[in-house]
Structure 1
Amino acid sequence: MPRILTYNVHRCLGTDGRLSPARIADVVAAYEPDVVALQELDVGRVRTGGVDQAHAIAQALGMHVHFHASMRVLEEQYGNAILTHRPTKLIKAEPLPGLAGKPGLEPRGALWASVNIGGVDVQIINTHLGLRRHERLAQVNALLGPHWLGHPSCREPAILLGDLNATPRSRAYQRLASHLWDAQALARPSKPRATFPSRLPMLRIDHVFVSRGIAVQRVEAVRTPLARVASDHLPLLVEFHIVRAKAHQASMGHAHG
């Protein structure tokens, strides 16, 4: 059964102060996911020893990698990636809107890859949203709009996942939940798991949202001893299967509600 995992790796800096892309790869490898969405990767940055963390982790896992830099300063990059060992192609990778009049906010972005799982092309969008409420809402609206989930190419089944910096009570979360299903709400038994901070998780801000055509079997916030120290977030793993859709696959904007 296919598995997808989202993980904010905090530039591979553990809660013990150690930098280790290899340790992040070990946390992921133990769960043998088909697709991995990573946030907060450093590529060629002095602060993390100039390592291309996206490629280092992908290589350790034997996966292809699509990386998108949300932020670039000269040769240094920082952003998100989708890794998979399945056939895949990158559809797009772009910045998301910030807030007018707040140019100092950290730039945010998303990337969308089509991944072939069991003969079905699954549209996967990985993102890391902003810290401010209005910023997140603008970013969610962009993701639900015609360039991303509402795009004609973004046919079901689709999965949007990542560190959304939004709890289930937030407007950004609720806006997404009116178009897609929160995998944690679909899992049985349904006891949603927090993912942040990793040592004593209190907040549910890392999410996997799914369209019709994705039947969620199991959700797990990975709480192994290694996961609790490798990053300040825990990974969130979703096991699912693809329901063969009828010929009338509608575009995502009309999933429901």
Structure 2
Amino acid sequence: MQKMNARQGAAETHTLRVASYNIRKAVGLDWRRDPHRIADVLAEIDADVIALQEADKRLGARAGVLPLQRLEAELGYRMVEVSMGPHSHGWQGNAILVRSHLRDYGSERISLPTMEPRGAVSVRLQDPELEIIGLHLGLTPGMRRKQMLNLQKLMAERDHPVLLAGDFNEWNTGRIPFAPPNTVVTPGPSFHARRPTVQLDRFVLGPGLRSVSSHVHQSPLSKRASDHLPIVVDIAFTGALK
């Protein structure tokens, strides 16, 4: 009941809940691939939009690992079209789930400087007008910085609110180059799920957006479903883009 009241309050203040979750191809800490366990965690979070990392298997046809029919029928999510393969959910493992009542202008695959199969994907919502970019950055500091500077430039060129969500693979907040008017939101330690001590997962809010609250989603289920914990932010729209 408390969760329902909180979500009702968010709706009254015109907020949107966005989550980011590295699902490790749905392989939990027990080394079992259990897509329905991931779906159960997503049901606990109750977000409007979810950026996922490692949503596809790494080898072969890079098939997606999520139970899409269940996500649509029970949770009301649709998968944003960003895949280049018939069996994949995302691009370079990045995928986005959007609640079915939210309309969008379309989706995009965003190339980043990389020496690994990494990148970003985006969806631009119509109402509220917002572009959400899901990302999974590289393993080396120099490459991550190039990727973040590329994304910072992209955000500056947009004429609508933009939110970045994903696994930045960066534990040192001093190496996050996003400066005002952007706001970096680090909800807390999200890795390793068994004993979270490192802040790898973050959001970046561009102009026109404000963080109302944020948290790392910790539950008995989320502590087993992946090696990352999901992160969540509730955002409000300020209307000021400069």
| TM-score bracket, shorter-length normalisation | 0.7 to 0.9
Q: Which amino acid aligns with 1:163?
A: D
Specify every segment of 5 or more residues in structure 1 that has no aligned partner in the other structure, as ranges. 99-104, 185-191, 251-257
Give the structure 2 partner of residue 126 of structure 1. Answer: 134
Give the structure 1 partner of residue 112 of structure 2. Answer: 96
Give the structure 2 partner of residue 87 of structure 1. Answer: 103
Please give the alpha-carbon distance, in whole angstroms, between the structure 2 residues aligned to 1:177 and 1:29. Answer: 33
Specify every segment of 5 or more residues in structure 2 that has no aligned partner in the other structure, as ranges. 1-9, 11-15
| Residues 44 and 51, structure 1, Cα contact 8 Å, conserved in 2 | no
Please give the alpha-carbon distance, in whole angstroms, between the structure 1 residues aligned to 2:231 and 2:171. Answer: 15
Write 1 or 2 for the structure with the bigger share of strand: 1
Q: How does 1:1-257 map to 2 (within 5 A)?
A: 1=10, 2-42=16-56, 50-53=63-66, 55=68, 58-59=71-72, 61-66=75-80, 68=82, 78-85=92-99, 86-98=102-114, 105-116=115-126, 119-145=127-153, 148-151=154-157, 154-171=158-175, 173=176, 175-178=177-180, 180-184=182-186, 192-243=187-238, 245=239, 249-250=241-242
Please give the alpha-carbon distance, in whole angstroms, between the structure 2 residues aligned to 1:163 and 1:56. Answer: 26
**Aligned pairs, number:** 223
TM-score, scaled relative to structure 1: 0.77
- Pairwise CA RMSD: 2.7
Larger displacement relative to structure 2 (57-66 or 120-129): 57-66
Q: Give the secondary-structure state (helix, strand or coil) at the position aligned to 2:45.
A: coil
Identity within the alignment, %: 29
1:66 positional shift: 2.0
| Residues 92 and 119, structure 2, Cα contact 8 Å, conserved in 1 | no
Please give the alpha-carbon distance, in whole angstroms, between the structure 1 residues aligned to 2:51 and 2:150. Answer: 19
| Residues 25 and 57, structure 2, Cα contact 8 Å, conserved in 1 | no
1:46 positional shift: 5.7
**Residues 235 and 79 (structure 1), Cα distance of their counterparts in 2 relative to 1, 3 Å cut:** same
Deviation digits for residues 148-186 of structure 1 (CA, Å, limit 9, x no counterpart): 3133xx234221110000124442x1x1245521224xx
**Residues 28 and 135 (structure 1), Cα distance of their counterparts in 2 relative to 1, 3 Å cut:** same
**Residues 157 and 176 (structure 1), Cα distance of their counterparts in 2 relative to 1, 3 Å cut:** same
